[in-house]
Amino acid sequence: MLETSADVVVVGGGLGGVAAALALLRAGRTVILTEEHDWLGGQLTSQAVPPDEHSWVERFGVTASYRALREGIRRYYRDHYPLTERARAQRELNPGAGHVSRLCHEPRVVVAVIEAMLAPYRGSGRLRVLQPYRPVGAEVDGDRVTSVRLAHRDSAEQVVLCAPYVLDATETGELLPLTGTEYVTGFESQSETGEPSAPVEAQPLNMQAVSVCFAIDHVDGDHTIDKPASYDFWRAYEPPFWGDRLLSWRCPNPRTLEIVERSFTPNPDDDPQLVQADQRVSAGDADLWTFRRIAARRNFKQGAYDSDITLVNWPMIDYLEGPVIDVPDADRHLMAARELSRSAFYWLQTEAPRADGGTGFPGLRLRGDVTGSADGLAQAAYIRESRRIQALYTVTEQDLSLAVRGDKGAVSYADSVGVGMYRIDLHPSTGGDNYIDVGCSPFEIPLGALIPRRMANLLAAGKNIGTTHITNGAYRLHPVEWNAGEAAGALAAFCLEKATTPHAVRQSEALLTDFQRRLTQDGVELRWPDVAGY
C-alpha separations of 404 from 100, 255, 386 in Å:
27, 17, 26
Q: How far apart are CA 483 and CA 524, in angstroms?
A: 8
Report the predicted TM-score, pTM, of the whole model to 2 decimal places: 0.97
Positive or negative: CA dihedral 418, 484, 423, 37? positive
Class of domain 2-50+105-187+384-521: alpha beta
How do residues 182-218 score in pLDDT, each as one tens digit?
999 999 999 999 999 999 999 999 999 999 999 999 9
Q: 322-343: buried (b, 16+ CB within 10 Å) or exposed (e) per residue?
A: bbbbbeeeeeebbebbbbbbbb
For 300, the 3-state DSSP assignment is strand
Among 412, 421, 397, CA closest to 279: 421
Show me where the domains of the chain are located.
2-50+105-187+384-521, 210-267+307-371
Q: How far apart are CA 57 and CA 50, in angstroms?
A: 14
How do residues 43-101 score in pLDDT, each as one tens digit?
999 999 999 999 999 999 999 999 999 999 999 999 999 999 999 999 999 999 999 99
Please tell me whether the peptide bond between 353 and the residue prior to it is cis, using omega within 30 degrees of 0.
no
Q: How far apart are CA 231 and CA 79, in angstroms?
A: 43
C-alpha separations of 515 from 167, 196, 487, 512, 521 in Å:
18, 34, 10, 5, 10
Pairing of strands 133-141, 144-152: antiparallel
Give the pLDDT means over successive 10-residue stretches in the chain (534 positions): 93 98 98 98 97 93 98 98 96 94 96 98 98 98 98 96 98 98 98 96 98 98 98 97 96 94 90 55 78 96 97 97 97 98 98 96 98 97 98 97 91 97 95 94 97 98 98 97 98 98 98 98 96 57
Are 161 and 32 within 8 A, CB to CB? yes
Longest pairwise C-alpha distance within the chain: 70
Q: What's at 123, amino acid-wise? A: G
Residue 80 burial (CB < 10 Å; 0-12/13-18/19+)?
A: exposed
Positive or negative: CA dihedral 269, 275, 281, 287? positive
